[in-house]
Structure 1
């Protein structure tokens, strides 16, 4: 049986995101993984407190409020096996049970700027987390760069991901019927 996971790339418009955007020159600079098309089960590494980008770690994200209220996004799906889906879910549940052990890999973000491969135990930045989850569950993304250097833009360039939506996150969430495949596009706000 085939399953789908969703990769959510966003621009929340925060000061921290704007600083990252100055360096990357890419429109979407935060990555999350969702276990459902309705984006109820969305996980990433990010800020634990809305007003402080420097206190971060493993989080379950609320895509319906807070920082995501006015977010622009691109949603990609990845078709995987039941075994791969269960592996991803198992890793997420393990991290969630021990979330106090995980922290945001701010040093890793700096390492990207210098193209230095730095691996830190239990520390991830958003796209590193998503790429690690996929790789550890047997989903091939990209072979041309180490996981510790994977950016949100690298994720969207993966041939195993299919764009299903691009535009306002609130518009996607307002749709009655979940989008499973195809290329729906909305003009970004």
Structure 2
């Protein structure tokens, strides 16, 4: 019988927003992504549209040699393999396809970022934080329920998901980027 998996990727990029989260919440991981495959070629999240501009965030396909990840020689992270049923996997793929097909309508939830720091609930159908997006896909696909408002889910909360840790450490060592090397 074929097994199906989704991959939750937690990272700690060296950005001002990441430092702010660490200061207020004392979290180790400050960014979350979701991948359909172990190679992380199909990895998605909400993050900066342009690496140098933290004020415009969008839904996007992420890669370790592009965006904010490109500037890191060391990228602390954890890759969690979540076993799912075929139906749950297909539900997650359909939701991701919806986000991809309508990517221009989705934006980063800046108000939600402030509310998460204040521990206040606010929901939008078109605005997401990175961890809110990952949780939304997992929750709407009937994979996990953390019993918390989706906008209050931080990357650290995703550590509570039943999973197998397939890697923890410097993601740049597991996924080396040749253009970064001197």
Q: Same fold (TM over 0.5)?
A: yes
Q: Corresponding residue for 1:168?
A: 170
Q: Corresponding residue for 1:72?
A: 76
Q: Corresponding residue for 2:40?
A: 39
**In structure 1, distance between residues paired with 2:59 and 2:52:** 16
- Residue 16 (structure 1) shift: 2.1
- Residue 127 (structure 1) shift: 0.5
- Residue 36 (structure 1) shift: 0.7
Q: Corresponding residue for 1:127?
A: 131
Q: Which of 151, 156, 159 matches 1:156?
A: 159
TM-score, normalised with respect to structure 2? 0.89
**In structure 2, distance between residues paired with 1:77 and 1:85:** 13
Q: Corresponding residue for 1:12?
A: 13
The 4+ residue runs of structure 1 with deviation greater than 3 A are: none
The range that moved more, 63-72 or 120-129, is: 63-72
Contact 1:64 / 1:170 at 8 angstroms: preserved in 2? no
Contact 1:2 / 1:81 at 8 angstroms: preserved in 2? yes
May I ask how many residue pairs the two structures share in their alignment?
A: 172
**In structure 2, distance between residues paired with 1:132 and 1:58:** 13
Q: Secondary structure, in 3 states, of the residue corresponding to 2:96?
A: helix
Q: Any unmatched runs of 5+ in structure 1?
A: 175-189
**In structure 2, distance between residues paired with 1:64 and 1:24:** 28
| 1:163-187 deviation per Cα after TM superposition (whole angstroms, max 9, x unaligned) | 221101111224xxxxxxxxxxxxx
**In structure 2, distance between residues paired with 1:157 and 1:109:** 21
- Residue 65 (structure 1) shift: 3.8
Q: Which of 118, 122, 138 matches 2:122?
A: 118
TM-score, normalised with respect to structure 1? 0.86
Q: Secondary structure, in 3 states, of the residue corresponding to 1:132?
A: helix
Q: Any unmatched runs of 5+ in structure 2?
A: 177-182
Q: Secondary structure, in 3 states, of the residue corresponding to 1:64?
A: coil
Contact 2:50 / 2:67 at 8 angstroms: preserved in 1? no
**In structure 1, distance between residues paired with 2:133 and 2:103:** 13
Contact 1:141 / 1:155 at 8 angstroms: preserved in 2? no
Q: Secondary structure, in 3 states, of the residue corresponding to 1:46?
A: strand
CA root-mean-square deviation: 1.3
- Residue 140 (structure 1) shift: 1.5
- Residue 66 (structure 1) shift: 4.0
